[in-house]
Structure 1
């Protein structure tokens, strides 16, 4: 499956994202599983098990709540954990002391690679939208506009001269890897990728110690198009 997980319209995924987005929120443990701390997520008749790895929640199992049925999510999860524990102990002299074994449910290398790739895609999409918003705001008043990301702040100022040369300056506050700076500059519309030059001041102020900035010329046609509410 190549569809980003955050684009899948499933109520359990939506509930898990909502429930585990709040820091220090209380969660209920699935007591039938004793080798890992798996937490409950519930919506409608859907049930899920969430495992938290270094602060990152993973939905590792899901099913329906069917009280009294062998197909009930919690009953099936416990049975699967006990069967996996039996298989492990059959092949290892030092058997597990827990009642269950759920390591096979946890994310592996491929899952982590996919997560990082999808996080990169989400950031790139957010950057494109943010850059266009900052450009529009700055074109309207000629001032610097900025927004905060998780680990850095992004600022942008555009100055247009009667439809001729349109000057754009981009500044980043905070530490970012060089490849991210390249992605940011490469997503500024109407600018040549090779046309960026480092700056040591912005049009209206000097740079602060934690800031870096670049300037370029923007195609005035593209600038006008961005101001057209019917275009994007």
Structure 2
């Protein structure tokens, strides 16, 4: 059913689970909470049968249960969202699924008082679904994930070029990324980065920012790599690298 790991909405995280919003470099689907872990487990395999919450009829919500925790999951394309959660209280008005139905029924009444035409469903859960704030958080996490993935790649290319003085390259999401470092013993170290293929400007800026020992504002567009002319559709940037930082990188285990 899902290719992405289940994640809570920000409202669910704060209000239902009582958790603080972590830094953007900690994805919400990786938060160590039994209900989030169970949702991720339940929706990891598209062949796993799911139990629908029948009392909710305006959206398709599925049950997720672990220990005394109960939750409701809504699937957007291939991304499962934990949109509500709470504790189980069998036989009491505080039972999670009974409370969810009651809340959704009341929300439907409020919605119909304020909107036309009225809803014909028995419930309304639109306010529980992910919104703009959730989308912004998801995009920010994507950027943070890309940065975590890119940094070791960039450092490996710089390290390899420092060791043999030649250009080293990898394919990166359909684009070719190459780095060539020329070290002059005891003097300045020159570094050139080239990309062939379409990449967002923000990604190119992120890549150059990951080269250690370079002044961020000193990167310049260039017209050739150190040992060859510019290739068709190639973008090249160059800078000077602090030899001390270059030495530190060589001393760091890849």
Question: 2:5 maps to what in 1?
Answer: none
Question: 2:140 maps to what in 1?
Answer: 117
Which of 167, 176, 187 aligns to 1:164? It is 187
Which of 107, 122, 125 aligns to 1:99? It is 122
Deviates more, 1:13-22 or 1:124-133: 13-22
Work out whether residues 144 and 158 of structure 1, in 8 Å CA contact, stay in contact via their aligned partners in 2.
no
Q: For residues 127-142 of structure 1, what are the structure 2 equivalents within 5 Å?
A: 127-142=150-165
Q: What are the ranges of 5 or more consecutive residues in structure 1 without an aligned counterpart?
A: none
Q: Secondary structure at the match of 1:214?
A: strand
Work out whether residues 155 and 210 of structure 2, in 8 Å CA contact, stay in contact via their aligned partners in 1.
no
Work out whether residues 188 and 242 of structure 2, in 8 Å CA contact, stay in contact via their aligned partners in 1.
yes
- Distance in 1, Cα, partners of 2:42 & 2:228: 43
Question: 2:241 maps to what in 1?
Answer: 218
Which of 112, 127, 148 aligns to 2:172? It is 148
Mark the CA change 1:158 to 1:100 in structure 2 (over 3 Å): closer, same or farther: same
Deviates more, 1:103-112 or 1:162-171: 162-171
Q: Secondary structure at the match of 1:31?
A: coil
**Superposed CA RMSD:** 3.5
CA deviations over 1:97-155 (Å, ceiling 9, x no partner): 11211011012333333333343344344433442233234333444042535x75543
Work out whether residues 138 and 145 of structure 1, in 8 Å CA contact, stay in contact via their aligned partners in 2.
no
Give yes or no for the alignment of 1:31 onto 2:53: yes
Q: What are the ranges of 5 or more consecutive residues in structure 2 without an aligned counterpart?
A: 1-19
CA deviations over 1:50-101 (Å, ceiling 9, x no partner): 3333544432112245554543433332222222123223444632111211
CA deviations over 1:181-222 (Å, ceiling 9, x no partner): 223212321112233233455456666655423222211110
Question: 2:209 maps to what in 1?
Answer: 186
- Distance in 1, Cα, partners of 2:191 & 2:38: 41
Q: Using structure 1 for the length normalisation, give the TM-score.
A: 0.75
- Distance in 1, Cα, partners of 2:126 & 2:204: 38
Name the structure, 1 or 2, with higher relative contact order (CA <8 Å, separation 6+): 2
Q: Which runs of 4+ in 1 moved over 6 A?
A: none
Work out whether residues 221 and 236 of structure 2, in 8 Å CA contact, stay in contact via their aligned partners in 1.
yes
Mark the CA change 1:221 to 1:45 in structure 2 (over 3 Å): closer, same or farther: same
Number of aligned positions between the proteins? 229
Q: Using structure 2 for the length normalisation, give the TM-score.
A: 0.70
